[in-house]
Amino acid sequence: MIRKQDIVQQAVQKDILNGETSAIGIMDFDALENTIIELNKAFPEHFVHTFAAKANALTAVMKKLNQTGIGAEVSSPGELLIAKRAGFENHSIIFDSPAKTMADLTTCIKNDIALNIDNLQELERVDVLLKSYPHTQSSIGFRINPQIGSGAISSTSTATSTSKFGYALADSGNRQQLLEIYAERPWLTSLHTHSGSQGCELELMAKGIAEIVNLAEMINDRVGFQQIRQIDIGGGLPVNFASEEVTPSFQQYADALKEAVPALFSGKYQVKTEFGRAIVAKNGFILTRVEYTKSMGGRHIATTHAGAQIMTRTVFLPDSWPLRVTGFDAQGNMRTETNSEVVDTDVAGPCCFSGDLICKNKALPKLEANDYVLVHDTGGYYFSNHFDYNSLPRVPVYAVSGNSHGMSIDLIRKADSLEDVLSRM
């Protein structure tokens, strides 16, 4: 929290936070770098890490991640564009969309971008393309759904028996069919799964990955040589939104994997990862100004500028995606139980429906107009998200590095105001 307090105070001093601020995103670039150091420390060298771009598809963030030496996982033309602008080389990019067009597939195979085939219809297309590009350096695998069951949040669980992703391993006859598919295609050298998600236990994730490694061994046995050289274990490591603690850590995940799937650590396979949320969530936050406060039916209500437009999941599924908030006064001093009366509070957003709340009925040190609300752990899938790519960004985003003796806070994405829009007319 000391780091976050420093950042808020510096942002006030630098007039980034002032009486006109609506909401801003902050990415702590130093903390991001430390996370990648932790990631590299937890896993041996034959693990190659990529960042799932959708978790924070901002060019400056991706550039920072590219400088740490990791790769990128992308699923759309927009994400690919951002990854390329950020400097990622084709050979360190994986393309994973479940809805790849023929043009998408052609581009990947022509340009040596790795891809994971989602289904049998896509396999037919890749078969055709491989005839035209037999010398492609793309690493190509199948995305396998190990069907290990759901975590606590069904909408993000990828490994349920009826998930939309990948080829079902446990459905009748499929394992045998996969063995044949691989045996007939020596260019299929990789296997992919994404078995975790927010709400999943490490043991459940490890179980899914063990299934894939087992399949790799079966394929290699069947063909009589090591055709599968690469295993992509995806991302999906859950993040702790309840406190400052990083748990599970990459080390805890590595330990759980070592226990359940020792073959991953033997060096026999190159292992790829595609972490998203676990890399960025705790290294970013939202700051939004309280425009008004009032009391309604005994509840203190603080109306801010951050709601469903930035925190879509939390607003619509508050029980699955709760977020912590901390208040600061207009000078950037943290509100605590010692300096402010604690009252039951709803922190509301600006959208015109009553469910547009960051949090509901929380005992919080009393917020006042012109205070700032810090929404923790929102460095992934929040201010960087635009499900509608035609909408204009409303949230400027800043990158922070250094400490309170010398901290830089630089704008990395501009937001459009109404004035900007009118001035273009």
Q: Which of 108, 351, 352, 359 is catalytic?
A: 352
**What part of residues 226-245 is at the interface with ligand PLP (CB under 6 A)?**
234-237
CB of 77 to ligand PLP, least distance (A): 15
Is 200 one of the catalytic residues? no
Among 11, 16, 52, 210, binds ligand PLP (CB under 6 A): 52
First to last CA, the chain: 44
- Could you say whether residue 193 binds ligand PLP (CB under 6 A)? no
Q: How far is the CB of 156 from ligand PLP (least distance, A)?
A: 7
Tell me: does residue 96 bind ligand PLP (CB under 6 A): yes
Q: How far is the CB of 258 from ligand PLP (least distance, A)?
A: 20
Using the minimum distance from each CB to ligand PLP, give the nearer residue, 141 or 332: 141
Residue with the shortest CB distance to ligand PLP: 276
> Which of 374, 361, 360, 376 shows the shortest CA–CA distance to 317?
360
Rounded Cα gap, residues 9 and 372, in angstroms: 11
Provide the β-strand partners of residue 95: 74, 115
d(CA 348, CA 288): 11
71-74 and 93-95 beta bridge pairing: parallel
Nearest to ligand PLP of 253, 328 (CB atom): 253
Minimum distance from residue 235 beta carbon to ligand PLP (Å): 3
Beta pairing class for 342-348 and 292-296? unpaired
Q: Which of 64, 194, 282, 305 binds ligand PLP (CB under 6 A)?
A: 194
Minimum CB distance to ligand PLP smaller for 50 or for 345: 50
Check binding of 335 to ligand PLP (CB under 6 A). Answer: no
**Among residues 381 and 398, whose Cβ is nearest to ligand PLP?**
381
CB of 54 to ligand PLP, least distance (A): 5
Distance from C-alpha of 163 to C-alpha of 208, rounded to nearest angstrom: 14
Q: How far is the CB of 278 from ligand PLP (least distance, A)?
A: 6
In this complex, which beta carbon is closest to ligand PLP, that of residue 70 or of residue 278? 278
Given the complex with ligand PLP, which of 7 and 55 has the nearer CB atom? 55
Nearer to ligand PLP, 156 or 345 (CB): 156
CB 200 within 8 A of CB 208: no
- Three-state SS string across the chain, please? CHHHHHHHHHHHHCCCCCCCCCEEEEEEHHHHHHHHHHHHHHCCCCEEEEEEHHHCCCHHHHHHHHHCCCEEEECCHHHHHHHHHCCCCHHHEEECCCCCCHHHHHHHHHCCCEEEECCHHHHHHHHHHHHHCCCCCCCEEEEEECCCCCCCCHHHCCCCCCCCCCEECCCCCHHHHHHHHHHHCCCEEEEECCCCCCCCCHHHHHHHHHHHHHHHHHHHHHHCCCCCCEEECCCCCCCCCCCCCCCCCHHHHHHHHHHHCHHHHCCCCEEEEEECHHHHHHHEEEEEECCEEEEECCEEEEECCCCCCCCHHHHHCCCCCCCCEEEECCCCCECCCCCCCEEEEEEECCCCCCCCEEEEEEEEECCCCCCEEEECCCCCCCCCCCCCCCCCCCCCEEEEEEECCEEEEEEEECCCCHHHHHHCC
Shortest distance (Å) from residue 207 CB to ligand PLP = 17
x/- site string to ligand PLP, residues 147 to 186, per CB under 6 A?
A: ----------------------------------------
Task: Pick the binder of ligand PLP from 66, 197, 304, 378 (CB under 6 A).
Answer: 197
Q: Is 73 an interacting residue with respect to ligand PLP (CB under 6 A)?
A: yes
79 near ligand PLP, judged by CB under 6 A: no
**Near ligand PLP by CB under 6 A, which window of 52-60, 182-190, 220-228, 338-346?**
52-60
Binding string, residues 262-291; x marks residues near ligand PLP by CB under 6 A: ------------xxxxx-------------
47 vs 275 by CB, closer to ligand PLP: 275
Q: How many residues bind ligand PLP (CB under 6 A)?
A: 17
Out of 21, 28, 43, 54, the only residue in the binding site for ligand PLP (CB under 6 A) is 54
Contacts to ligand PLP by CB under 6 A = 52, 54-55, 73, 75, 96, 194, 197, 234-237, 274-278
Question: What positions carry a catalytic annotation?
Answer: 352
